[in-house]
Chains A and B, each alone.
Chain A
Amino acid sequence: MKRPTTIPIGPQHPAFLEPLNIGLELEEERVVGATLNLGYNHRGMEYALALDYKKTQYLVERVCGICSNHHSAAYCQTMEDIYDIEVPVRAKVIRTIMMECQRITSHLLALGHTAETMGYENLFMQCFRERELAMRLVNEISGNRVHYSINVIGGIKRDMDAGMERHTANVMRELRPLLEDLRDVFARDNTLVKRMKDVGVLTNEQARDWCTVGPVARASGLPQDIREDGFAAYDMIDLKPVVRDEGDCYARTMVRMDECLHSIDLIEECLKLLDEGPVIMTVKGHPTGEGLSRVEAPRGELLYHVKAIGGLQLDRIKIRTPAFLNVPSVQAMLPGSRLADVPLITVSVDPCICCTDR
């Protein structure tokens, strides 16, 4: 019996954006075991976030740049839970619009990254060209490209005027045919489909056992979407979770692609809901008590738990990020696959190491 060969992938690797190390055990070309080695990105965020709740507002977006708006929305919802206040409807709707815009940019990043990992440089460039449209839109709405800093405790900082509402609708109209073209390529291109079908399969039971969330779980047939709970303005709009049951790389990619298109529907519905009204309410005093909130980030369920003790300092702020649950599931997908598919499988769960390590 030959002993398996052990090779490390990472922390610096062409396929990964971020430092992440996988110890692979190989028998010739086949992977027989994989061990994840994380922690390269640990900055000690939870400690820093608890120091001063007013600065937390700024810092909480720096937990992750890809889903920054979801982090700040989750934090604001938690603090609103502690203060026991209800945010104005207009603020909720604009928050939802920003969250859906970020879902589009984040999913297009993941799709482009998947294409690049397969060596399809042209599709990667196309995904990013389409993504720039959404990036420019959020820049115009919030004033920032990456960390929008539009959410504050009690509402939002920057209102949309009538011109901006029209502009958002126009951009969405412009984006839809472009994304439909992209979907066509991902769904029908022979090379792509053959490369992704039946690669890195995560069965329904495995998805449940590894506690996966978000697109990874939905691609394995687990119909779970926190947006159905109806935080922000999601109880006012018509939501249809995208679920597939193959559980391979192709299913995960297509779930992301369909969610992008569904996000456009949701934004268009939100724009119709925008009525005149205030967007922010005053909040008085230091927070006291415990609060909990969940939002559906692009990668899945994001949970915030804050315990405040009536001063500037918070007792504890606990973040459970979706990537923390999804990234370990590659250990279940990798055994049995070929060495050349390892980067593709890893990228298909959309690993976000800055979320995972914090």
Chain B
Amino acid sequence: MGLLDKIGTKSPWILHFDTGSCNGCDLEIWALLTPKYDVERFGGINRANPKQADILLITGPVTMRCEDRLRNLYEQVPEPKLVVACGNCASTGAPFHNCYNVCQGVDKVIPVDVYVPGCAACPEALIDGFVRALSLWEDKARRRESE
């Protein structure tokens, strides 16, 4: 593993984007960033700047109007980047299934690495997803090195 990856996995910066969720998962993401659950233990800080972000926490079933904005944000994030789809609607579009204005999940628009289930996804599950994203990052870095 290179030096940058070694440092990076210790301080992953978060970009949170709401693509049309009911705010339930967004609340839990905010609970995640604050004292009780405190994801800063793993080095995660919310910096709402795509140019500095490593991990994208995406909530919501992606409305038609947010589709282009989400793609645009994803392209601005430098490699290595990881996408965590938070909640049922981000994973599959479930509660808003067959609504006329939604794309049925984040993976219809950009590639997703980790899916966190739950409506709304509870902070414990989100921490689990976050840590899994970090270990995926390490795997990716090792694979890149061996190639």
Contact = CB atoms under 8 A, between A and B. Distances in A.
Interface of A: 11-14, 17-19, 39-45, 47-48, 58-59, 61-66, 68, 109, 112, 124-125, 128-129, 131-132, 135, 145-147, 352-354, 357
Given A11-B69, A19-B18, A19-B69, A44 B101 contact: yes
Contact of A42 (B28, B63, B122): B63
B101 A43 contact: yes
A345 to B, nearest CB: 19
Nearest to B23: A65
B120 A146 contact: yes
Contacts of B66: 11, 19, 40-41
Contacts of A128: 30-31, 34-36
B91 interface: no
B49 interface: yes
Given A17-B23, A41-B20, A48-B96, A146 B28 contact: yes
Contacts of A129: 34-36
12 contacts: A11-B69, A12-B17, A12-B50, A40-B20, A42-B65, A43-B20, A44-B96, A62-B24, A132-B31, A354-B21, A354-B22, A354-B23
A58 B96 CA distance: 11
B35 A125 contact: yes
Q: Which one of B18, B60, B69 has the highest number of Cβ atoms from chain A below 10 Å of its Cβ? A: B18
Contacts of A146: 24, 27-28, 120
Given A39-B65, A68-B24, 6 more contacts: A11-B66, A19-B69, A40-B20, A48-B98, A132-B36, A146-B24
Contacts of B18: 17-19, 41, 353
Nearest to B17: A12
Contact of B31 (A59, A124, A135): A135
B44 interface: no
Contacts of B48: 12-14
Interface in B15-71: 17-28, 30-31, 34-36, 47-50, 60-61, 63, 65-66, 69
Interface string B52-94: 0000000011010110010001000000000000000000000
Contacts of B60: 41
B118 to A, nearest CB: 10
B95 to A, nearest CB: 5
B122 to A, nearest CB: 6
B127 interface: no
A14 B49 contact: yes
Contacts of A45: 99
Contacts of A17: 18, 23, 26, 30
A64 B23 contact: yes
Given A41-B63, A44-B100, A129-B35, A109 B49 contact: no
Contact of B24 (A39, A47, A147, A352): A147
Nearest to A145: B122
B114 interface: no
B119 interface: yes
Contact of A145 (B19, B100, B120): B120
B133 interface: no
A229 B135 CA distance: 55
A128 to B, nearest CB: 4
Contacts of A68: 22, 24
Contact of B19 (A13, A19, A64, A65): A19
A48 B22 CA distance: 14
B134 interface: no
A17 B16 CA distance: 8
Contacts of B96: 43-44, 48, 62
Given A40-B66, A42-B63, A43-B61, A64 B22 contact: yes
A172 B31 CA distance: 20
